[in-house]
Structure 1
């Protein structure tokens, strides 16, 4: 196999269509089809199945797709690394952000990136922390910001921001706002609106509750933090979030947050990169920009 075949294969897989991929790549569709067939012949695997809307990856195709993205990313990094000067990094860098941070960071990051790195390109993708870790380790993105990552050999982890979790409740206008700390043992008295278990904040909360011998009252499971805050404001229950998460919602005036204690569960936002490859000068500059902006976020 060669890089051209992998590039053609990835483009077809992402677009789900040979004709669309041929248009984007500016090659004739028969030539594109021949390259993909040659790849299938060499690997002795069918990579696509046809459906009414185009094509879909087979199981073998999905496995090859993950490898191909990583290979093409490495080649791109090599070109960028060799083509960049110390003072003016060039090329393209992709950063992954959790939705809660994406709402606060995307605009200022792109603004600073455009001013300081005009010759480079930045792509921002959003996903849960577990997905971002997977994308970093497989090479689909260059840099990730994640909450409470687990240590693993393929990951370089740099803590950026540590925040205590608190019970978030609706505080109607004119009603006295209770802000005194809340012992973890009392958390069982409050019906909670929490993300699904794949969410880093949910895993952290359940671990700390179990260690404190507290049985949580899970009233609703909602993946979106903005939706959780909407439900809290509507009186459907309480949430467990960080102060910065409340500040970013734009509805802090309607909410009261009580810091959890005994113990105090702490959420740590970390910068993650692959441990198996050296970051390009552009990736390093992007990490520095993101780190500086994170430290300026309201808390």
Structure 2
């Protein structure tokens, strides 16, 4: 049994709805249903009776909630004794995130943090870098998770590098370059580009990349936050997108292909916050959570790479006759 499962059961009982509880706890309904089912299997009881209109507690569920409230009260007393707020004293955490954060899998990390820290109210919005820096400086945001070159980050911002990746060109599978694994940077100037709005960091970054390599900066469309629209335009052949490799690979499929740009261009995912602001309590917990998430992500990628290499080596050895 986990503490978060107790929170889930109590919130479902309060909302009389799995969907209502999921919304209140910043978690998906399938995830909360899975946790409750797991708990019911562990305890060998049924906590809820479900019908088409509402969810109500069973007798065992009522007994569970009675003891669960006492457990959470003890947890509240423990955390309060060590400088944390109680669960009924909500702390607001304002976070900015980069476009395509959902495709990158970041939503999973954020929802897990908020669902397991019910005394934190999360406010999250998509921001481009210039606005993120301004909002961090003015303390409108507590954190921003953005794509950036570290050398371009203002001095008043502290940051942790979460991930460094290759930059890719993502294009319609019908594009003539889509048959390649790599695309020479000189070829980018031959293709129309989908980029950020003028005066945005994304626009300036791409413009500098093109101009510094003597390329034609042929912009087909300006947009920063409308991820779905940009993907539709890319798939239809209106233009190409530039994206980090983890995002590019997830976009790739039947209608899209990602090509690594050579010479390789590196771009980082960073967790940014105001340098003058001393992190405390749940802010430290959030930073540690995001750092751990990306460290785990990197470890999984390295393990997958090792497995791929070992598998390829085994296939090669099996198919090759050294006699």
Give 1:294 deviation, angstroms.
Answer: 4.0
Conserved 8 A contact 1:113-1:286: no
Give 1:151 deviation, angstroms.
Answer: 3.1
Corresponding position: 1:121 with 2:117: no
Conserved 8 A contact 1:86-1:281: no
Q: Following the alignment from structure 1 to structure 2, what is the Cα–Cα distance between the partners of residues 155 and 205?
A: 22
Q: Following the alignment from structure 2 to structure 1, what is the Cα–Cα distance between the partners of residues 250 and 202?
A: 16
SS of residue matched to 1:253 = coil
SS of residue matched to 2:140 = coil
TM-score w.r.t. length of structure 2: 0.58
Q: Following the alignment from structure 2 to structure 1, what is the Cα–Cα distance between the partners of residues 157 and 80?
A: 25
Among candidates 211, 229, 241, match of residue 231 of structure 2: 229
SS of residue matched to 1:186 = helix
Map Cα deviations across residues 80-101 of structure 1 (whole Å, 9 max, x no partner): xxx9554855533222112321
Q: What does residue range 12-161 of structure 1 map to in structure 2 within 5 Å?
A: 85-86=81-82, 88=84, 91-102=91-102, 104-115=105-116, 117-148=117-148, 150-161=152-163
Among candidates 166, 169, 193, match of residue 168 of structure 2: 166
Distance 1:125 1:193, change over 3 A: closer
Give 1:285 deviation, angstroms.
Answer: 0.7
Map Cα deviations across residues 57-97 of structure 1 (whole Å, 9 max, x no partner): xxxxxxxxxxxxxxxxxxxxxxxxxx955485553322211
Aligned position for 2:214: 213
Distance 1:196 1:203, change over 3 A: same
Conserved 8 A contact 2:190-2:216: no
Distance 1:133 1:84, change over 3 A: farther
Q: Following the alignment from structure 1 to structure 2, what is the Cα–Cα distance between the partners of residues 289 and 221?
A: 34
Distance 1:139 1:233, change over 3 A: same
Conserved 8 A contact 1:169-1:257: yes
Give 1:147 deviation, angstroms.
Answer: 1.9
Conserved 8 A contact 1:108-1:293: yes
RMSD after superposition? 3.0
Give the gaps of 5 or more residues in structure 1. Answer: 1-82
TM-score w.r.t. length of structure 1: 0.62
Aligned position for 1:253: 254
Conserved 8 A contact 2:173-2:256: yes
Give 1:183 deviation, angstroms.
Answer: 1.6
Q: How many residues align?
A: 213
Tell me which of the two structures has the higher relative contact order, counting C-alpha pairs closer than 8 angstroms and 6 or more residues apart.
1
Conserved 8 A contact 2:167-2:265: yes
Q: Following the alignment from structure 2 to structure 1, what is the Cα–Cα distance between the partners of residues 223 and 288?
A: 33
